[in-house]
Amino acid sequence: MNVRNKFFRQISAAALVIALALPIMPITAEEVLLDQVVAVINDEVVMSSELQARANEIYSQLQQSGTEIPPRDALISQVLERLILERIQLLKGQRVGIRFSDAEVNEAMENMAKRQNMTLSEMVEKAHQSGTKLSAIRQRVRNELIIGKVQEGSINRRINITEQAIDNFLNSQEGRSWSSPDVNLGHILLPLSAGAPRDKVTKTQEKILDIYNQAQNGTDFKSLAIANSAGQNALKGGDLNWRKTAQLPNLFITAIQDLSPGQISEPIRSDAGYHLLKLYERRGGGRVLEQHNVRHILLSPSEIRTDEETLATINKLRKEIQDGKDFTAAAKEYSEDIGSAMSGGGLGWSVPGQFVPQFEKTMNTIEIGQVSEPFKSQFGWHILQVTERRKQDFTEDIKRSQARNIIKQRKFQEELQIWLQEIRDEAFVEIKS
């Protein structure tokens, strides 16, 4: 059962009376809306003006997208429930001191504009034209960031992905297909039925060997395909483009498994005829990458220490380390990353994709032994030090790490719906008549 639909049926008839009294149309200058409380959530309230403003916004979006507009009472009920859930999550964020700086809000707004293929100025202007103030946009973005952080912290604690779960995924049909390498192939087919007479078989064999020799001696494979192939992609030079290896016929998989990019398979016989395959590129196979042994110190802004004060403190700590203070001792004393502080900030040998982008960028560019300039991530302000580097084959590690992320994303959505139901049930919510 859809969680939100279940929520909506719990809203009292009194809420619908209020809903029906609210026109889902922009308020004109001649109209006066008498504001009132429509819902109480713990110590917070939702006002009728807020409910109407959000309903008008969604109504406009539905109109612009050409979506059929649902009945007015259903739309109002859904909007009210969304506001209630938002308020509950914002209260949780407020209690644990989650905050985002103006710079972070600006960055989020710029990213939002990019996703809409607009500049930030264009997005703000469009909002102004629809009657939305810049301050309202900023507050909405700030709230979304806080809610995202609350959800991340609450849901991740509920997710435990075992090594067996990863094995099960990789051994499933979906997992085998997903984890198989991608190959970019060219293909030439000379058709030959299974019951063809011997002279035709001999003639086709001679022709495929001739084409194979021409290709081996430098004749353009695509030209040979256009001139000779009966494959569906013959007029495109025989290009099959990128395919998952697991999606290819078993004969093809065997034929290309030992090829290097640029090489051509020997002729292959199938029930359809004789084939030649050229491997142009392969990706997702063995990957030897640089690995870093890294340690860090994290300081996070809080209700008692502003973002600016946190930056100043970690800058001072960096200077002390540069002047001789032991990094391990400093991490044990000051770092607020509980998972690594007791080990002197040590994070061990890195796995590609393990850290947030800001962390990986700094880790990849800093000199061994150097203490980085402070940089900020979603967790707070960091300094880091790379103590060693090495080359490592990450084929299996990357595959398992990516599989873990896929499983985690699925579990996150499942747990999110359960968690939303729980916090909704636990909160004091009163719909006003």
Domain boundaries, the chain: 3-157+420-431, 184-283, 288-393
CATH fold label, 184-283: Chitinase A; domain 3 (3.10.50)
Which helix H or strand E contains 11, and what residues bound it?
none
What angle is formed at CA 35 by the lines to CA 31 and CA 40, rounded to 5 degrees?
150
Quick one: tokens of 153?
């912290």
- Tokens 């909506």 sit at which residue? 8
Indicate the CATH number for domain 3-157+420-431: 1.10.4030.10
Let me know if the fold of 184-283 is the same as that of 288-393: yes
State the CATH class of domain 288-393.
Answer: alpha beta
Backbone phi and psi for residue 188, each to the nearest 5 degrees, phi listed first = -125, 130
Measure the CA–CA gap between 80 and 77, rounded to whole angstroms: 5
Measure the CA–CA gap between 172 and 190, rounded to whole angstroms: 35
| Distances in whole angstroms, Cα of residue 248 to Cα of each of 71, 161, 177, 256, 345 | 49, 31, 10, 10, 46
Q: Closest Cα to residue 253, out of 243, 239, 263?
A: 243
Running along the chain, 433 residues long, what does each successive block of 10 average in pLDDT? 36 35 41 73 88 84 77 85 92 90 90 86 84 85 92 90 91 76 92 90 96 94 92 89 82 89 94 93 71 94 89 96 95 91 91 84 95 93 95 74 84 87 90 79
**How many alpha carbons lie under 13 Å from residue 149 in its C-beta half-sphere?**
21
Instruction: Write the CB contacts of 390 (distance below 8 Å, at least 6 apart in sequence).
Output: 290, 291, 293, 349
Q: Quick one: three-class SS letters along 180-243?
A: CCEEEEEEEEEECCCCCCHHHHHHHHHHHHHHHHHHHCCCCHHHHHHHHCCCCCHHHCCEEEEE
Within its chain, how far is the Cα of 266 from the centroid? Answer: 41
Query: What is the pLDDT at residue 361?
Result: 92
According to DSSP H, which parts of 96-133 are helical?
A: 102-115, 120-129
Model's pTM, two decimal places? 0.51
In this structure, which long-range contacts are made by residues 198-203, counting pairs with CB atoms below 8 Å and at least 24 apart in sequence? Answer: none
- Amino acid of residue 370: Q
Query: What is the pLDDT at residue 278?
Result: 96
Contact 214/305 with Cβ under 8 angstroms?
no
End-to-end CA distance of the chain: 28
Rg of the chain over Cα atoms, rounded to whole angstroms, equals 30
Measure the CA–CA gap between 253 and 304, rounded to whole angstroms: 61
Query: What is the pLDDT at residue 394?
Result: 61
Coil, helix or strand at residue 300: coil
- Tokens 């009728």 sit at which residue? 48
* C-beta atoms surrounding 200 within 10 Å: 11
Contact 303/96 with Cβ under 8 angstroms?
no
Measure the CA–CA gap between 43 and 40, rounded to whole angstroms: 7
Query: What is the pLDDT at residue 6?
Result: 35
